A and B are shown apart, each in its own frame.
Chain A
Amino acid sequence: DAKTTQPPSMDCAEGRAANLPCNHSTISGNEYVYWYRQIHSQGPQYIIHGLKNNETNEMASLIITEDRKSSTLILPHATLRDTAVYYCIALHEKLTFGTGTRLTIIP
């Protein structure tokens, strides 16, 4: 599985859009980009995934660059409940979790 790189931490003001970047420069053509988040002491929660095209669901939007070497997860209107560790994973066969980005939403 391709390695992903994420900033260790980010802050975002409540009500603003949270943009979480992820680099996956070695991603192969058949590897999807998955995003999960983990709120303290809970199991990871699926957010969204994509291959080439941008994706949107009720939780977030996923923007994947044309060369697929990086992506951005967008939480459009962050709330305090969005405070969590966010994991970007390039999936081929198994989910391999890196260290993720600890997102803190500031009131």
Chain B
Amino acid sequence: GAVVSQHPSWVICKSGTSVKIECRSLDFQATTMFWYRQFPKQSLMLMATSNEGSKATYEQGVEKDKFLINHASLTLSTLTVTSAHPEDSSFYICSANNLIAKNIQYFGAGTRLSVL
């Protein structure tokens, strides 16, 4: 199957700092990538849709100025959590659509963010 790489897998930061998470499609090009957030014992919640070469589309209730998304190439999307606070601590997961492989969405392994 297609591989989506997410980095880092785990990050701890101080409150007020910014954290960047990378999502790469390793063996296919992805014009669309997605960013999810998952709190403990809850399901995945879609945060935004990242479109290559254009602005991301955010879900209702997600602050676009706090969660900056950049999709500068067909294989890379980044999510920057700006001025992180303890309530932003969560499991962040990206996914990418493989248009060639029946448009199946493949997921990264996730990034666990802990804000102190």
Which residues does A use to contact B, with CB under 8 Å? 36, 38, 41-46, 49, 87, 94-100
Asked whether B106 is an interface residue with its Cβ less than 8 Å from the other chain, the reply is yes
Residues of A with C-beta under 8 A to B4: 43
Interface size class of B (residues with CB under 8 A): 20 to 34
Q: Is the CB of B43 within 8 A of A43?
A: no
Give residues 59-116 of B contacting A (CB, 8 Å).
91, 93, 95, 102, 104-110, 112
Count: A-B pairs, CB below 8 Å: 43
Chain A interface, >50% SS class:
loop
**Contact between chains at B110 and A94 (CB < 8 Å):** no
Which B positions have Cβ atoms within 8 angstroms of A?
A: 1, 4, 6, 34, 36, 43-46, 49, 91, 93, 95, 102, 104-110, 112
- Out of A44, A49, A96, A99, name the residue touching B107 (CB < 8 Å): A44
Contact check: which of A38, A95, A99, A100 meets B105 at CB < 8 Å? A95
* Residue contact A95 to B95, C-beta cutoff 8 Å: yes
